[in-house]
Structure 1
Amino acid sequence: MATVTHDNEERRDPRRWWALGALIASMLVLGFDSTILNVALPTMARELGASTGQQQWMADAYVVVFASLMLPAGLLGDRFGRRRMLIAGLAVFFAGSLAGSLAGDATSVIAARAVMGVGAALVMPLALAVLPSLFAPDERTKAVGAVSAASALGMPLGPIVGGWLLDHFWWGSVFLINLPMVAIGVTAGVFLLPETCDPSSPKVDAVSTALTAAGLGSLIYAIIEAPSRGWGDPLILGLLAASGILLTLLVLRERRSVRPMLDLALLARRDLLLNTLAATLVMFVLSGLMFVLPQYLQAVRGHDAFATGVRMLPMMGGLLIAARGTAPVVARFGPRPVISAGLTVLAFGAFLGSRTSVHDGYGFTALWLSLVGLGFGFVVVPAMDAALGALPTDRAGSGTGLVSTVRQVGSAIGIAVFGSLLAGAYTDRLDTSALPHGAARAASDSVVGAHVVADRLGDRALAASANTAFLHGMNLVLLVSGIAALVSALLAAALLPRRESARTRAEKNPAMARAPEDVRQ
């Protein structure tokens, strides 16, 4: 046996760890880009004159394209080569990042972010898909964990890195930082990764892909534009109707397909559906808060970009603490009470945050941010674990893609809904009666724009009004987030499938507790 093991070790590619390092660098970039732009938005709004709606699109263009193309991108890799498509995805991401760093207006930034979303959709599923060809089963778990951890680590690092870059360079540096790390990933892909494919995988359904992208895009465009146009505007109503029709056609098409790209039949499994919805809800809430918070810290509190990134760490700290402590708690009590408790903590943190006033210090903000992060971590980890654990083994690939896509959709809608809620409340409360038309419009576009106008005119009353109006909008966002989380906590406690903890099973049947693990299963 020892000889066999030694032979296996010799047959393993010694370059596999270098390849893993390059994949980790690539995933770290994707993690950065989920949060690094948030801290840059106030700076970009000031220098590019971007309205709140344009800022929402800067964040959402990436997420909408990412969510729409993740499933077909994975299938392209299966059919035409995972290594080839992974390198193509990194190259597209490189091009989008370069274009973003050179953009001269908000529209160009939005277009560059959409291109980056195309690249990310290829990289995310295929970075994990190539690992089985690199690592034997005894090393694969460690490799998958390292790649997944890199993506998660990018989230708390994003605001810090972005803030430091903005304090020392121009705003385009938050895009330029991607280039060397992506270049490492491309080089490693060319020289280190083996090619694998699965010609028997389902074909990419161009019609379903188009229906997904058009349906989600129409919905999110309507939500973002509604505060300025009004919910009764014919364009908004038309877009909402078009979105409903397109997404209905998608569902009907996928249900009739023999080998669907979007395997909606999996959502008929109650445990998978409910746990996926729980994970999606917290992504919805977190994405909205990550859009609102940097504007509060920079425009209202007056912190620079780096200080803003540092002050967002309590939320990420709470998230990481919860993520590390979830496993033993779930093992003892089961996922249902942990998810319900996490949603309750998230709701309490949001309700506490909704009491923020213009005069509160940072200590109060750090307190409720920590609770929000803690609640988020205790929901998303067990919910995702339970959702993926509910997948049939023969449909794990399509099921994982479906769960990831639904979560990305939740993120995109969270940015759109909470950004629009903030924009509407801010505009209603802002006093621009004494301003000329052009200045009033610029001030109404965003709190950053209001401060630019106030500084130019020396109008302290406008700055104070903008701060009060923004706090009103932010507190409304937090209040709605708290209500949604609390209702979800009650529904989770009532509806999530009950799975007994190991301790409970042992108390009911001591003999089973002493049995080997494979017998107990």
Structure 2
Amino acid sequence: MDRSPRRWLALAALTLAVLIVALDGTVINVALPTLSAELGADSAQLQWIGGGYLLALSVAMLPVGLLGDRYGHKRLLLAGVGLFGVASLVGASVHSTGAVIAVRAVLGLGAAMILPLSMAVLPRIFDQEELPRAIGVWTAATALGMPVGPVVGGWLLNHFWWGSVFLFNVPVAALALVAGLWLLPADPSRGSAGANPRAPFDSLGTVLGVLGITALVYGTIQAAGQGWGDPVVLSTLGAGVLLLAVFLRHERRFAHPLVDLGLFADARFRWGAVIAVFVNFAVMGILFVVPQYLEAVLGNDAFGTGLRVLPLIVGLMLSAAVSEALVPRLGVRVVVPTGLLLLAGGAFLGGTAGTGDGYGFTALWLSLTGLGFGVAVVPATSMVIQSLPSERTGAGTSLLETVQQLGSVLGVAALGTLLSLGYHARLHLGGLPADAAHSARESVTAAGAVAERLGDPALGTTAHAAFVHGMDLVLLFCGAVALLTALAAALRLPRRTAAPGPAAEEVPAVVAAAR
């Protein structure tokens, strides 16, 4: 097959798009103290600056995938990039907390259009041989934003005003938009290869899905501040579960459902999705605790912390190339469990950390974790995409991204609770005034500030030890999740990758069109 050299430039355009989304997910975190000081945002408003983005991202993915299948992946993807750029431009010039929350919600909507549809475009550009490498690059771009976001945000805030964390996205989005218009293959004519645009839209399913996901995500966000036993949290989560149960019942009966549950009948999609969800759960848990450890315990600033998480990304990028070569020889049933075992080993090693361990030990187990992440997630994601029919790639990738997003949200919330339990169990506050003790219990960062204000180095020492204990519990739990997932993968995955799905049939023509 004649492979167009422009396919890699097209991948670069997609990478730019997902990179700004990944950066924006974390870059705002370092700006929260500045927003609090300059806009007078209270803790609840600060929570919704992040939560509004997360909520919009989570609820919009499912309908976006179906719309992409019907009306064109490229059209909606580039519309999402354009929306992201415009919202970022507006965000750089607003002057109230409410406006910032609204802008973040629109950014979440743009991100929901970019993430699944950029993945859906990949099998239309790359053949089955090169698809794993392209997925590896795509995955690395999404993961890179997690540690690099604070680096970029810290640098911008050190040199410019707070709106620069939004303005930074604008030229990148503009470049991604121009590159996408020029390099991405045109969408097929309506009805020729995609889903039927004249089929009735699943409006009831969309409403049920959006409300159910909204309730779950909202309840989880509220649990972080109110606790899991709060009546509002419990009722909201219960309503979310009930709505999603009704949603699934409706989807089984509707002729043109929002979510094609039949995709789960294919073992490649079913087990690839399960593995991807639990791999991301473990990695998100690691990335939840490690930056806090590097900053609050080891004493790095936001910029230095972001740099020190990069060994995980380096491991991911190296392993993506390795997994591409290994899968044809050994099969996914060997490669994916091996990656999960490496991931578990890295997490278990990190779970032995003590307050006296320096950064070198952290870099070691982060590198091992990154290697395992790439070896496991790239073949699993590739297997999912190869299982999708050509007319359902948008809906399929949206479903994959949605369950991953929900798993990450719920997982990080649960792991945050585990971290808090471990931290409080080892934190000794005897003799402190009530208000100082209350502040120290909130976080290790707050405890450090109290210790400095009171001139009490013993409090700082016990807070660091307590946090490391909580972090170790989280890492050990993540390692156990990866280990159990490795066992399931070894038992359930096919020995060899099955024949490519129908999406492969259109690859030669589309690659030629991408020249």
- State the TM-score bracket (shorter-chain normalisation): 0.7 to 0.9
Match of residue 29 from structure 1 = 20
Alignment of 1:422-501 (within 5 A): 422-432=419-429, 434-499=431-496
Distance in 2 (CA, whole Å) between partners of 1:109 and 1:488 is 39
1:387–1:313 CA distance, 2 compared to 1 (3 A): same
Match of residue 401 from structure 1 = 398
Partner residue of 1:149 out of 134, 137, 144: 137
Percent identical among aligned pairs is 44
Match of residue 273 from structure 1 = 270
Amino acid in the other structure paired with 1:426: Y
Partner residue of 1:114 out of 98, 102, 105: 105
Report if aligned partners of 2:83, 2:110 keep a CA contact under 8 Å in 1: yes
Report if aligned partners of 1:60, 1:412 keep a CA contact under 8 Å in 2: no
Distance in 1 (CA, whole Å) between partners of 2:359 and 2:101 is 32
Partner residue of 2:85 out of 78, 89, 94: 94
Q: Does 1:309 find its partner at 2:306?
A: yes
1:381–1:21 CA distance, 2 compared to 1 (3 A): closer
Match of residue 511 from structure 1 = none
Alignment of 1:49-198 (within 5 A): 61-79=52-70, 85-98=76-89, 111-127=102-118, 149=137, 152-153=140-141, 155-156=143-144, 159-160=147-148, 162-167=150-155, 168-169=158-159, 172-186=163-177, 198=190
Partner residue of 2:349 out of 335, 348, 352: 352
Distance in 2 (CA, whole Å) between partners of 1:91 and 1:403 is 24
Match of residue 516 from structure 1 = none
- State the Cα deviation string for residues 409-461 of structure 1 (Å, max 9, x = none): 22222322222322343344434454445444433333223333333333323
Partner residue of 2:279 out of 272, 277, 282: 282
1:198–1:430 CA distance, 2 compared to 1 (3 A): farther
Report if aligned partners of 2:61, 2:402 keep a CA contact under 8 Å in 1: yes
Unaligned runs of 5+ in 2: 500-515
Distance in 2 (CA, whole Å) between partners of 1:259 and 1:159 is 40
Match of residue 515 from structure 1 = none
Partner residue of 1:215 out of 212, 215, 219: 212
Match of residue 362 from structure 2 = 365
Distance in 2 (CA, whole Å) between partners of 1:321 and 1:439 is 46
Q: Give 3-state SS (helix, strand or coil) of 1:356's partner.
A: coil
Report if aligned partners of 1:45, 1:51 keep a CA contact under 8 Å in 2: no
1:37–1:221 CA distance, 2 compared to 1 (3 A): same
Match of residue 512 from structure 2 = none
CA RMSD of aligned residues (A): 4.0
Q: TM-score, normalised by structure 1?
A: 0.79
Deviation at 1:361, TM superposition (A): 0.7
Distance in 2 (CA, whole Å) between partners of 1:53 and 1:346 is 35
Match of residue 513 from structure 2 = none
Deviation at 1:288, TM superposition (A): 1.9
- State the Cα deviation string for residues 75-98 of structure 1 (Å, max 9, x = none): 334555656544542343235435
Moved more, 159-168 or 311-320: 159-168
Report if aligned partners of 1:166, 1:173 keep a CA contact under 8 Å in 2: no
Aligned length: 487
Q: Give 3-state SS (helix, strand or coil) of 1:232's partner.
A: coil
Match of residue 253 from structure 1 = 250
- State the Cα deviation string for residues 305-355 of structure 1 (Å, max 9, x = none): 221111111111111111110022112211112111211111111111111
Distance in 1 (CA, whole Å) between partners of 2:362 and 2:345 is 13
Report if aligned partners of 1:218, 1:240 keep a CA contact under 8 Å in 2: yes
Distance in 2 (CA, whole Å) between partners of 1:500 and 1:140 is 11
Amino acid in the other structure paired with 1:113: R
Q: Give 3-state SS (helix, strand or coil) of 2:353's partner.
A: coil
Amino acid in the other structure paired with 2:344: A
Moved more, 215-224 or 369-378: 215-224
